Structure 1
Amino acid sequence: MRPTNFPPLSRSRHFNAMENVNVAELVERLGSDEDAVRKMAVFKLQSNIGDPSFADLFIAEGGLTRLRYLTLHASGNTLAYSLTSFARLLDVDKGWECVDEELVERIVELIVTHPLVNILRGAMSICVSVVSHPHSGDRNSPQPDMFGFRALKPAIAIYPQFLEMLVSRLSSADHALCANALQLINSLMRDSITYDSEAEWPKFIQRLQDLGVIRAVYVLMQDSALQDLAHPLLEFQSLTKVLLRKWKEIPLNQEKAEHRRALKGIHLASTKSVDDGNAIAGGNVNAEKEKKEKGEDTKRSKKHHPEKWRRLGFETESPTAEFYGVGFLGMMDLADYVRSHQDEFQKMLLEQSSKPSRQRCPIARASLAVTSILYEHFEVDKSDMDDSKNYMLMDSRVSLDRLFRPLLLHWTRLHVAGLQAFFRLWKATAAEMDDLDKLVELVRILIESVVGGAARTKEVHDVEEELAGFEYQRLRELQMELLELTYEDAWGQHLSQVREELQHEALQFVKEQRTRCLLRGAWFSIEKDVAASGAGGGGRNAQFVQLSHNRRYLHFGTFNRDDYGYDGRRVPELDALPEKIDLSTVSSVVSNISTETSSSTTARQPATKITIHGYSSTSEKHSRQPSTTRERSGTGAGAGTEIILLTLRPSSHSEASEWLDGLLMLLNQQPITAETSKLIDLVGNYGLKIRLLNVRFDDATFAGEVPVVPSRKGLDEDYFYDVCGGV
């Protein structure tokens, strides 16, 4: 039951349930002669006008006319609240009948001339709504075409500094104002790209770029408060992709004046290097001058160089078709490089002209390849809505660094840096024309590594320096890692099997290498000399140990150093070695050699020692060595008391690794030193890389497709089958 002191509900006496705002009274206050009353009324209005039902009642009460009047004539906070109210009214798609040329001009004027942030925000919001409104317009509007970018053009003609002021607002300390300004720039760009002619929208985009919009947005993308500007920044990034995609989709056409001028500019820049080269070769500048004076130069200029385009790196003398994959975007990138690095371009052409054709770096094709690499790297073909969806789905605290790609905005600089990296690799590898695809793949890996691995806050000049200084050897290592991962994904179990086979082959290879060291023999210090004079040994006698040719016995003997030379150049004959150990009686080989680190660890130990344990045979000569035994299960003939059969004291860590692991592998045990393990891995990995480099990726089990069975149509029975060769 409604209280009796409340007036009956009607259109003229409606109360908002949440704010208890009387619409009719509010509208009446908007027309008050007192500014304070108007200011309070419009202040309340801005918090309620976003409700569509409230907006309908407000318009029905005649409030729209009064709000428009305040928007045109008010000042201070009253104006700020009016602009905010009008912007929110347009957001709910109401009030379009009041949008006319006078209102738009007022909004543009405020954006250009007014310094207050709260007024600028509202004005920019209204502008965004006007530009973003569908071009069909409202049928009830007296001016249905007052929407889109063209609605602003008459006002911009009066205030030509509009775009400049708009871009300057991107540097404001107020993040909300930055967001409003960028949102308006995005709306202008999208409308121009969508509705302007092919001749007009590139000019507008170029105008924005000249005003510094790229640098301003790049700085905002690197800012720590990125989340406050996430949506307009993400839209600008998406629009950048839209632009790149549109340029790529425009086929190069020499019938178009702009395209013809771009090609001509590249050609003219190249002719200077030819003239300079001819002048240097001829050595007669005066003669050239005389020819020009006589008109001979005119005839020469009309007769084109027989390789006018091929010498620039195109494949044919009809370059238009070679832009098919990258369109006018590839033409722009090549033209930008030639224009901004003309001296480098001409110098390189001059250098290449002295080389055989197969060794000349194809500058043009390299440029087109880098454009294509960047296009794929930044996923330009990806829908501009995908980034927004990802942003909504992902945790913003984690996703921002991965979602935003500030380097995309510096496309031209990355293209130049990638192209220069291509030139550097071409020279470093002494590449020839047949190597073009391999070089392109290296540049692709380079860009994926450097540009793809760059943090959001990394400056573009640091990326350029890294691209310029990336070592070729490191790049090749990356290539092999990626190649292995690629085949791992494609072949899975097959590649694992190949790796296991190669690891086994590597083990056998190293086993043979270690065994050959034992077959060659080596000198070792005698234990008593080591004890007397230190780890290096200082006695005159030394022990020579050698494996027998049948690999069953270990022969050894003690000799005077002076007789054979301790440097290892002269060694005793195998028959001259008086003692031997039957390897079938050896139970174990132990050592104090480190199994983890290199010689630096061994150097801290007093002496490197390899001890061969075994079981005594019928001969008593081995029992002369002192026993420091422990019970073991034997691998030789019978069990018994284990004794030390022989002690070796290698002079270096490498020699210790060779002998310790060589003996272990002869006993069919696994090697244990880090040096041997590293060698096995090295041999196995090289074997795998060699196999990968000699197999095309397309060979991977037909990539899941069954090969077509050839038809027997037209065949007779006149054939034979060779067991070795097939049909």
Structure 2
Amino acid sequence: MDQADIPALLSRLASDEDAARKMAVFKLQSSINDPSFADVFISSGGLIILRRLIMSTGGNTLAYSLQSLSRLLEVDMGWDIFEGPSASDLVERVVELIVTNPLVNILRGAMSILVALVSHSQSTSTSGHAPITFGFRALKPAVAVYPQFFDLVIQQLHSADHALCANALMLINALIRDAVSSEPNENAKAGATEEWPKFIRRLQDLGLIKAVYNLMQSSALQDLAHPLLEFQSLTKVLLQKWRQVQVDVERPEHRRALKGLHLASAPNRDHVNGLGKIEELQESGKKGSRRHNPEKWRRLGFETESPAAEFGNAGFLGLMDLADFVRKNEDGFQKLLLEQSTKPLHERCPIARSSLAVTLILYEHFDCDRSEMEDLREYQLSDGKQQDKLFRPLLLQWSRLHTAGLNAFFKLWRSTGADQDDFEKVSELVRILVDQVIGQAGRSKDVQEVEEDLVEYDFGRLRELQMELLELSFDDQWGQHLYKVRESLNQEALTFIKEQRIRCLLQGSWFAKPVPRKDSQGTGTQSRRAANGTLWRYAKLSHNRRYLHYADFALRSTMDPNLDALSEKIDLREVSSVASNVFVPSTEAGADGNNSTKITIFGYAKGEVAKLKDLGQLKEDPLLTLHPMTHSLASEWLDGLLMLLGQAPITAETNKLIKLVKDYGMKIRLLNVRMEATYAGPPEGAGVVPSREGLNDDYWYEI
């Protein structure tokens, strides 16, 4: 619309005819986000007319008016509409519409206006009047009139209209951001009473978390991506804030939480080891003086009797998590304390310390210190499945994850037989467990499944993951050193398995001797023995490892024959190659001789090498054929012969054994290194350029 048409437009907006007003405001909403148009509109008194429309009309005229004001605020103009004595009436009117009006197009515009109002920073009007009130303070008077406001805004998160749902979530985000940022961090140290935790709890009690969690798992994710990502970032901000608040027994809320822990532990229950004695009144000069149990807090898993100081790293967030766990699992908490009290002191699982450890593990896992701008930038640069992974609905289930993680901690403590000195090792296992279960969980995975996976995860697999991670970590920092270690271990493993395989040859083995196919009658064992003479072959390596002795037998004796009983032998120096069909496990055969697996030893006839000048004319002849009865025996003899001849093993079974020995060697070496060494930084002073103070250019090299 041309700026010259503005006077006529204003005239129609001020008309008493609803049809004229509706058409005019419909055109206005499409032009008002042009700054040059908006400037003339405002200077011509348009804000007064627009305000009147919002206050007095309904239906589409009202919807277009709200949309026009919303778009005007988007270009950061028209804020003067909220100044003056009647400003509160306008805000109250918008709040009233959200509470009482069922029309979606009106609700969208009203919420959009409040998002802008709450998000806008405090400023002074250009006319020099008193500062305009923005933020949540601007809504307080209206919310006092309509206390159901927050409940109805959160209800809109269940709306089938995605645009309305997005506007409602943006309004909640703006309110949370304003509540958190309006109070300086000094309050956390000074011990002042913050309003933001009360406000957040009020929203949570109205079902905010569940509603956003469902949205984050729904198919509407793309339409709500930005407000959902903002809410996720604000959740991290809240966790940061709670962690920054230091636990202080002088603060009523903190004192109540600590007292609740103590009372929930059933302090008057007599424990088996005598540390939980009944707290009783003692007559010690003053009537009614109380002597407390000297292990009051240590029996709960604190290291000292001053629990507040032990929340230093986790802050009030750690106290909230522990108190929440105890409140929801009071019976289990008391049973756990009783169970631990029957054990020696050094074997008890410190419940409070474990809870704090799980809190910090979750905090690091969700990268709660990551800035919101980083999250938004990563979302803009990613696409498809990568964008989907940026949304972490499980973050909103913090309390349930903490409880499940803590129960997993207790289970690992029991299953590993840990004691107090192993606390950090168990914590590291829980860290890996959280990364594996929560980190690998898809966006739509239900939190109940995650809880079950945390507690039921296979401990053996967890240890394997720990070793793999250790190895990867070592690779990053000590790659060259590890390469040499692996090479060394590979040679050691190869030598070890070579010796094992050759010892199998030195021990000797029985082999089947297949019966030639004949058309004669009778296929029984006795008939075949009569037809062929012998059914068994026994082979054994000589002690000096130079000759392979063998002989054929009609019967397999219970005592293995010695070398003197083996009439035939092969000089291994004359062996040229060993061939076999041993590649994959075949069905193990018995003594009936039907096994098709065979090993053939080839060699050159004596004196042939000396006679022929062209070695290419040499012809290999089979010297001996062996028919192993099992695949394991075939692997032992084939690879044993090859390694004896200085060749590499070829069967999968032998190579698997070599890898197994090498891996165990690596694990033993890794387990001998402390965990701190894995992540240790450079030594002190590394990378510092030496000072040249006091030196001149007169230098020389010693050769």
TM-score of the superposed pair, with normalisation by structure 1: 0.85
One of 291, 295, 298 as aligned partner of 1:307 = 295
Matches of 2:124 and 2:595, distance apart in 1: 93
Q: What letter corresponds to residue 165 of structure 1 in structure 2?
A: L
**SS of the counterpart of 1:214?**
helix
State the match for 1:414 in structure 2. 401
State the match for 1:645 in structure 2. 623
Q: Is the 8 A contact 2:588 2:631 kept in 1?
A: no
State the match for 1:521 in structure 2. 508
Alignment RMSD: 3.2
Q: Is the 8 A contact 1:593 1:602 kept in 2?
A: no
Pairwise CA distance, 1:145: 4.3
Matches of 2:479 and 2:523, distance apart in 1: 58
Pairwise CA distance, 1:698: 5.7
Q: Is the 8 A contact 1:253 1:320 kept in 2?
A: yes
Q: Is the 8 A contact 1:417 1:464 kept in 2?
A: yes
Q: Is the 8 A contact 2:283 2:289 kept in 1?
A: no
Matches of 1:224 and 1:530, distance apart in 2: 70
**SS of the counterpart of 1:528?**
coil
Query: How many percent identity over aligned positions?
Result: 59
1:465 paired to 2:448: no
Give the 3 Å change call, closer, same or farther, for CA 702–313 of structure 1 in structure 2: closer
Pairwise CA distance, 1:486: 0.6
**SS of the counterpart of 2:515?**
helix
Matches of 2:685 and 2:399, distance apart in 1: 44
State the match for 1:42 in structure 2. 25
State the match for 2:205 in structure 1. 210
Give the 3 Å change call, closer, same or farther, for CA 50–435 of structure 1 in structure 2: same
Matches of 2:28 and 2:469, distance apart in 1: 61
1:271 paired to 2:241: no
1:28 paired to 2:8: no
**SS of the counterpart of 1:275?**
coil
1:115 paired to 2:102: yes
Q: Is the 8 A contact 1:64 1:95 kept in 2?
A: yes
Q: Is the 8 A contact 1:49 1:88 kept in 2?
A: yes
State the match for 2:50 in structure 1. 67
Matches of 1:691 and 1:279, distance apart in 2: 40
Pairwise CA distance, 1:576: 2.1
- In the alignment, structure 1 segments of 5+ residues that lack a partner are 1-14, 283-287, 620-630, 710-727
Q: Is the 8 A contact 1:529 1:537 kept in 2?
A: no
**SS of the counterpart of 2:265?**
helix
Pairwise CA distance, 1:117: 0.4
Pairwise CA distance, 1:535: 12
Q: Is the 8 A contact 2:405 2:454 kept in 1?
A: yes
1:170 paired to 2:157: yes
Q: What letter corresponds to residue 315 of structure 2 in structure 1?
A: G
Pairwise CA distance, 1:299: 9.2
Matches of 2:289 and 2:236, distance apart in 1: 41
Give the 3 Å change call, closer, same or farther, for CA 697–85 of structure 1 in structure 2: same
Give the 3 Å change call, closer, same or farther, for CA 78–662 of structure 1 in structure 2: same
1:545 paired to 2:539: yes
1:433 paired to 2:420: yes
1:656 paired to 2:639: no
Matches of 1:456 and 1:144, distance apart in 2: 45
Greater Cα shift, 382-391 or 298-307: 298-307
Q: Is the 8 A contact 1:163 1:208 kept in 2?
A: yes
Matches of 2:159 and 2:169, distance apart in 1: 11
TM-score of the superposed pair, with normalisation by structure 2: 0.88
Give the 3 Å change call, closer, same or farther, for CA 34–486 of structure 1 in structure 2: same
Greater Cα shift, 689-698 or 319-328: 689-698
Matches of residues 566-645 of structure 1 in structure 2 within 5 Å?
570-594=559-583, 597-599=584-586, 606-617=595-606, 640-645=618-623
Give the 3 Å change call, closer, same or farther, for CA 299–556 of structure 1 in structure 2: farther
1:683 paired to 2:661: yes
State the match for 1:253 in structure 2. 248
One of 90, 102, 111 as aligned partner of 1:124 = 111
Pairwise CA distance, 1:560: 4.3
After superposition, the C-alpha distances for 1:630-689 in whole angstroms (9 at most, x for unaligned) are x9x98xxx9844222111111111011000100000011111111001111111111111
Matches of 2:95 and 2:408, distance apart in 1: 46
Give the 3 Å change call, closer, same or farther, for CA 572–535 of structure 1 in structure 2: same
Q: Is the 8 A contact 2:264 2:326 kept in 1?
A: yes
After superposition, the C-alpha distances for 1:320-351 in whole angstroms (9 at most, x for unaligned) are 22111111111111111001111111110010
Pairwise CA distance, 1:33: 0.8
Q: Is the 8 A contact 2:107 2:164 kept in 1?
A: yes
After superposition, the C-alpha distances for 1:348-393 in whole angstroms (9 at most, x for unaligned) are 0010000001110111111111111111111111112111111222
State the match for 2:700 in structure 1. none
- In the alignment, structure 2 segments of 5+ residues that lack a partner are 184-191, 688-703
Give the 3 Å change call, closer, same or farther, for CA 680–324 of structure 1 in structure 2: same
Q: Is the 8 A contact 2:409 2:430 kept in 1?
A: yes
State the match for 1:16 in structure 2. 2
Greater Cα shift, 400-409 or 654-663: 400-409
One of 231, 235, 242 as aligned partner of 1:236 = 231
After superposition, the C-alpha distances for 1:530-587 in whole angstroms (9 at most, x for unaligned) are 999699998574221111111111111223436x22xxxx211222221111100111
Pairwise CA distance, 1:92: 2.1
Give the 3 Å change call, closer, same or farther, for CA 708–170 of structure 1 in structure 2: closer
Matches of 1:165 and 1:194, distance apart in 2: 24
Matches of 1:436 and 1:55, distance apart in 2: 65
Matches of 2:461 and 2:58, distance apart in 1: 65
Matches of 1:143 and 1:499, distance apart in 2: 75
1:338 paired to 2:326: yes
**SS of the counterpart of 2:606?**
coil
Greater Cα shift, 599-608 or 477-486: 599-608
Greater Cα shift, 329-338 or 552-561: 552-561
